[in-house]
Amino acid sequence: MTNTIADVEKADVILVTGSNTTENHPVLSAFVKRAVEFKNARLIVVDPRRIKLAGFAHQWLRPNLGTDVAWINGMMHVIIKEDIYDRTFVGTRTEGFEELKKVVEKFTPEYTEEITGIPAQQIIDAARMYAGAKAGSILYCMGITQHTTGTDNVKSLANLAMVCGNLGIEGGGVNPLRGQNNVQGACDLGGLPNVFSGYQPVNSIDAIKKMEEAWGVSGLSDKVGLKVTEMLPKAYNGEFKALYIIGENPLVSDPDLNHAEKCISNLDFLVVQDIFMTETAKIADVVLPSACFAEKEGTFSNTERRVQRVRKAVEPPGQAWDDWKITCEIATRMGYPMSYENPSAIFEEIATVTPSYAGLTYDRIEDEGLHWPCPTADHPGTPILHTAQFPRGRGQFHAIDFIPPAEKADDEYPMYLTTGRVIYHYHTGTMTRKTDGLNERSSGNFVEITPDDAQKHDLKDGDMVNVASRRGDITAAVKFSDKAVEGTVFIPFHFAESAANKLTNAALDPISGIPEFKVCAVRLSKAA
């Protein structure tokens, strides 16, 4: 997030898109709801489902799946045409406005309506509302990123925020909500194929030299590595041989699971390090038991870049070890001794090689976490990014045209499927499904559908339905819901036994490598 969570309550307009906030980030959603109910903020929700937050919204825009660039361009068209954009901000803080203007020119409300299905007047109203804000906050999540055009979607939201001067100010910002507790930290600390910790590029000679010195090694690769979504296909055709997986369960979370399973089974050697025997661990060659968050010391970085402590409360079961210790032992046995006295010692090393974490210590974050960048020991942290300038100086507008999603509904597969989560479960369910109460509230998979669509398929609430895509099929119970919208079904992806990701499309965003989980075409039939 460019801004903090608490900042949301300071916005006078909040635009939420592609985030079912009340279910996936419940505590953060309370900030949004409080802003609306008690602080007079206006709320615009743009989401294909009638999510709970839509009930709090002044405007709910319902776009066709995968048409985000179009409605965002449509809003900017109105804002520029009506001359309600922030001229000062655009003039002094940005570049590339003319190109942007050219691209959004054709996105008249009518043209936008044609693509997105959102009535022209609603686009105009929403544009005026957002542009009218003193401080407008944009919140988004996987509903924006999990598309073949995910990177375009994110850049478009940044365009919208910049056009209205909503960056670098209290209550503003473009705020991605991180779905998993430490995604932010995994990225910050170099769990990415193209950067070391602190986003230092692996193909920069300076960065390589710095790391080689710090780590006492030579010959670090300057070649950008493979993304997870590139490793698997290479495993399938035998070019990729060995994978070490720590705490992930791609055999439920990956798109097009049938194919993913073939890829992973084709590896010469698979090591899985986890707290449970996950679907992925089951096909490993070696399984290593690790400690969970309650059993170790360390830090997590939350979605607002706040680095916070994790503390040990109980002993790990049996012989389970901390993840870092396992990895260090393997390194040592491969001839590169890695040993640390404790996580605090690792954190000290992180601070020495990671500029954005350089000023952080366990002592400083003992009571309340700090927001990175925090470059020096006396730096107070950075709750709001880009207040004076952007990392590259001026903010770059990206002129982006609309590209339709990779798969469209057709005669054979006439319905759309979109996937997500429910409040009572988390990700692939390996943790939440161990709590009986959560299972009692949400016991198994379902296909959310409108009663009308159900009737067309001769389905009643609770019937078992078979859902098929070009890649696979699953069976689950029909659930009537007022969240559902005509022509689209929703299936959560928590449930391995009828995994939604057997259906999803592995088509990738060309830049982020994120698969298009949020749109694919399916066919329904009553299960026998």
Partner 1 sequence: MSEQNRITINGNEFSFEAGETILEVARRNHIDIPTLCHLRGTVSNGECKICVVEIEGEDSLTASCSSPATDSMVVRTESPEVIAARRTTIRQMLSSGNHNCAVRGSDDRDWTQFQLNVQKEDDSSELCPVWGDCRLQDIAYRYQVSGEGFSKTDIPYHTERVNPFIVRDFSRCILCGRCVQACNEIQVNKAIAFGNRETATKIIAAGDRPLKDSDCVFCGECVQVCPVGALVEKDVRYRVRPWETEKVRTTCSYCGVGCQLDLHVKDGKVVKVSGTEDVAPNYGSLCVKGRFGFNFISSPERLTTPLIRENGEFREASWDEALDLVAKRFGEIKEKHGSDTMGLLTSARVTNEENYVAQKFTRAVLKTNNVDHCARL
Q: Based on the shown chain and the rule CB under 8 A, indicate whether residue 495 belongs to the binding site for partner 1.
A: no
Residue showing tokens 């002094």: 92
Q: Looking at 240, 480, 490, 495, which residue binds partner 1 (CB under 8 A)? A: 240
d(CA 121, CA 48): 18
- Residue 363's identity, in one-letter code, is D
d(CA 236, CA 93): 47
Q: Based on the shown chain and the rule CB under 6 A, indicate whether residue 437 belongs to the binding site for ligand SF4.
A: no
Q: Looking at 106, 242, 408, 462, which residue binds partner 1 (CB under 8 A)? A: 242
The DSSP letter of residue 77 is H
- Residue 233's identity, in one-letter code, is P
Crossing angle (nearest 10°) for helices 97-104 and 68-81:
110
CA proximity to 425, closest of 414, 436, 411, 410: 436
Between 64 and 290, name the residue whose CB sits nearer to partner 1: 290
Chain positions 186 to 205 lying near partner 1, rule: CB under 8 A, are: 186-194, 196-197, 202
What is the closest distance, in whole angstroms, from the C-beta atom of residue 290 to ligand SF4 in the complex? 20
Q: Looking at 3, 9, 25, 47, which residue binds ligand SF4 (CB under 6 A)? A: 25
The DSSP letter of residue 64 is P
Q: Which of partner 1, ligand SF4, none does 517 bind, CB closer than 5 to 8 A by kind?
A: partner 1
Tokens of 138: 């944009």
What is the closest distance, in whole angstroms, from the C-beta atom of residue 55 to ligand SF4 in the complex? 15
Q: Based on the shown chain and the rule CB under 8 A, indicate whether residue 220 belongs to the binding site for partner 1.
A: yes
- Chain mean position to CA 19: 9
What is the closest distance, in whole angstroms, from the C-beta atom of residue 457 to partner 1 in the complex? 28
Q: Looking at 91, 205, 206, 219, which residue binds partner 1 (CB under 8 A)? A: 219
Give, in degrees to the nearest 5, the angle at Cα 419 between 415 and 423.
Answer: 135
How many beta carbons lie within 10 A of that of residue 388, not counting itself?
Answer: 6
Q: Which of ligand SF4, partner 1, none does 225 bind, CB closer than 5 to 8 A by kind?
A: partner 1
CA proximity to 310, closest of 293, 291, 290: 293
Single out the segment in contact with ligand SF4 by CB under 6 A; choices: 23-31, 87-95, 487-495, 516-524: 23-31
- Judged by DSSP in three states, 212 sits in helix
Q: Based on the shown chain and the rule CB under 8 A, indicate whether residue 334 belongs to the binding site for partner 1.
A: yes
How many beta carbons lie within 10 A of that of residue 309, not counting itself?
Answer: 16
d(CA 43, CA 130): 9
Q: Based on the shown chain and the rule CB under 8 A, indicate whether residue 246 belongs to the binding site for partner 1.
A: yes
Between 26 and 414, name the residue whose CB sits nearer to ligand SF4: 26
Q: Which of partner 1, ligand SF4, none does 85 bind, CB closer than 5 to 8 A by kind?
A: none
What is the closest distance, in whole angstroms, from the C-beta atom of residue 224 to partner 1 in the complex? 6
Q: Based on the shown chain and the rule CB under 6 A, indicate whether residue 27 belongs to the binding site for ligand SF4.
A: yes
- Residue 87's identity, in one-letter code, is R
Rg for the chain (alpha carbons), in Å?
Answer: 24
What is the closest distance, in whole angstroms, from the C-beta atom of residue 437 to ligand SF4 in the complex? 12
Q: Looking at 184, 200, 450, 481, which residue binds partner 1 (CB under 8 A)? A: 184
What is the closest distance, in whole angstroms, from the C-beta atom of residue 384 to ligand SF4 in the complex? 21
Supply φ then ψ for residue 436, to 5 degrees.
-55, -40
Between 249 and 504, name the residue whose CB sits nearer to ligand SF4: 249
What is the closest distance, in whole angstroms, from the C-beta atom of residue 187 to partner 1 in the complex? 7
The DSSP letter of residue 496 is G
Q: Based on the shown chain and the rule CB under 6 A, indicate whether residue 440 belongs to the binding site for ligand SF4.
A: no
Tokens of 168: 């670098």
Do residues 72 and 116 make contact, with C-beta atoms less than 8 angstroms apart? no
Point out which residues pair with 464 in neighbouring strands.
477
CA proximity to 167, closest of 398, 396, 387: 387
Q: Looking at 54, 275, 417, 499, which residue binds partner 1 (CB under 8 A)? A: 275
CA terminus-to-terminus distance, the chain: 47
* Count of residues that interact with ligand SF4, criterion CB under 6 A: 3
Q: Based on the shown chain and the rule CB under 8 A, indicate whether residue 18 belongs to the binding site for partner 1.
A: no
d(CA 259, CA 279): 15
Q: Based on the shown chain and the rule CB under 8 A, indicate whether residue 284 belongs to the binding site for partner 1.
A: yes
Q: Based on the shown chain and the rule CB under 8 A, indicate whether residue 82 belongs to the binding site for partner 1.
A: no
Q: Based on the shown chain and the rule CB under 8 A, indicate whether residue 482 belongs to the binding site for partner 1.
A: no
Strands (E), 119-207: 136-140, 174-176
Q: Based on the shown chain and the rule CB under 6 A, indicate whether residue 483 belongs to the binding site for ligand SF4.
A: no
| One character per residue 296-325, x = contact with partner 1 (rule: CB under 8 A) | x-xxxxxxx-xxxxxxxxxx-xxxxxxxx-
Q: Classify burial at 66, counting beta carbons within 10 Å of its beta carbon; exposed 0-12, middle 13-18, buried 19 or more.
A: buried
Chain positions 336 to 365 lying near partner 1, rule: CB under 8 A, are: 336, 338, 340, 343, 346-347, 349-350
d(CA 142, CA 122): 24
What is the closest distance, in whole angstroms, from the C-beta atom of residue 282 to ligand SF4 in the complex? 27
* Count of residues that interact with partner 1, criterion CB under 8 A: 148
Single out the segment in contact with ligand SF4 by CB under 6 A; choices: 21-29, 109-117, 162-170, 446-454: 21-29
Q: Based on the shown chain and the rule CB under 8 A, indicate whether residue 372 belongs to the binding site for partner 1.
A: no
What is the closest distance, in whole angstroms, from the C-beta atom of residue 302 to ligand SF4 in the complex? 8
Tokens of 399: 């002129």
| One character per residue 411-450, x = contact with partner 1 (rule: CB under 8 A) | ------------xxxx---xxx-xxxxx-xx---------
Binding site for ligand SF4 (CB under 6 A): 25-27
